[in-house]
Amino acid sequence: MLTMCTLITAQIDVTNYGAVGDGETDDSTAFLKAWTTLCDSTEEYPTLVIPEGKTFYVQPLYFQGPCKSSKLRVKIEGDILAPKKEDWKKCGDSWITFSSVNNLIIFGDGKLNGQGASWWGQWRSHWGGQGGVYFNKCKNLQLSGITSVNSSKTHFSLQGCHRANISGLSIEAPETSPDTNGINLSKSSDIVVDNITIGTGNDCISIGGGIKNLTITRIICGPGHGISIGSLGKNKKYETVEDVLIRGCTFSNVQNGARIKTWEGGSGYVKGIRYENITLKSAKRPIIIDQSYCPTHDCEETEVKSLEISNVSFVDFYGTTATLRAITLNCTSDGPGCTDINLDNVTIRRGPRISLDADEVGEHHNEVYAYCRNAHGKATATIPEVPCLEE
């Protein structure tokens, strides 16, 4: 009986704080009042409930910690709707922010709708926020089950977090939607991302500087730009990424697959990276390391050093490419380049839908090929052959 009473008193339903859930009324104040009750609760597992069958329209929300309970839950069963760009009442913020909230569990079958189409046409003048849901300096985070559609920018961002488990999400945005990364990770450690379906207009998962001990498994990615480390080192910045395992993922109709991208002039390192057991379905640029990253294609070739890239493995890749160049190892000519690069049991063949370049067709006889510059390591049982890596 005591357990039952505790469970009942710990339920904090936003509709009890004035939320209407008709998709039009601004429910922001009700959400913030409910959060205050949750954060002040000393119960074990106090739970903020967003009930099913309703759509809650909210302006940008900032949920500040630390909170009194050692374990907090947010149960999202209904839908949450963001304002369109013309109705956005704050500048520079993410839509929903959790800051310094530890031991937070967010779960449910609900949907977050960012109404991003109103932003995408003006994406170059976007405000500088993270986009959808932003976790800042949160420890022991669990996020599962929910769906995010049409975020204005990145759907989920983690920065400065330690120990997080993200699983069972569904992330959706059109292939043409700009800057809509599925998940952004930076300055965080001991992170697990598992069993997520992502189709979006930019990186399915973007791994930024300051990441250590990250495991990514069972991701279905596409459309999108793959699972990317970087870009790192822009504006001569020092950044590091280390100890990353990406396993059992599928890249389908993506612009890139397994990618590492760093700017010339930056410093730091990328090391201890392993992409393993990857399925490719008409993936453009399935494997790519680029130490001279320049998305605008107008950067000066300074030939200066970039971040050191070492101990990177691509193991058990199978499938098809949508471009003739299946493997790119483009490392700077100044310095050691990329070292200890290992490819093992990689088979990438030409897919049914392929983008052909006339020069490539002539030079490579219409066959899939690998390009490399100043990369060092070993390729074993790899198709196509990688000329700069010894067998």
Positions marked catalytic:
225
76 and 106 Cβ atoms separated by less than 8 Å: yes
CB 297 within 8 A of CB 340: no
CA 373 to chain centroid: 28
Which residues neighbour 2 within 8 Å (Cβ) at sequence distance 6 or greater?
none
Q: Which residues pair with 166 in a beta bridge?
A: 143, 193
Query: What burial class does residue 105 get, using C-beta atoms within 10 Å of its C-beta: 0-12 exposed, 13-18 middle, 19+ buried?
Result: middle
User: Do residues 217 and 186 make contact, with C-beta atoms less than 8 angstroms apart?
Assistant: no
The DSSP code for 84 is: P
The distance in angstroms from the start CA to the end CA of the chain is 68
β 308-323/338-355 pair status = parallel
Sole residue written with tokens 């999202």: 76
CA 195 to chain centre: 13
Beta pairing partners, 317: 278, 346
Q: Of 295, 306, 303, 293, which is closest to residue 266 (Cα–Cα)? A: 306
Cα–Cα distance for residue pair 296/108, rounded to 1 Å: 40
**CB 243, CB 214: distance < 8 Å:** yes
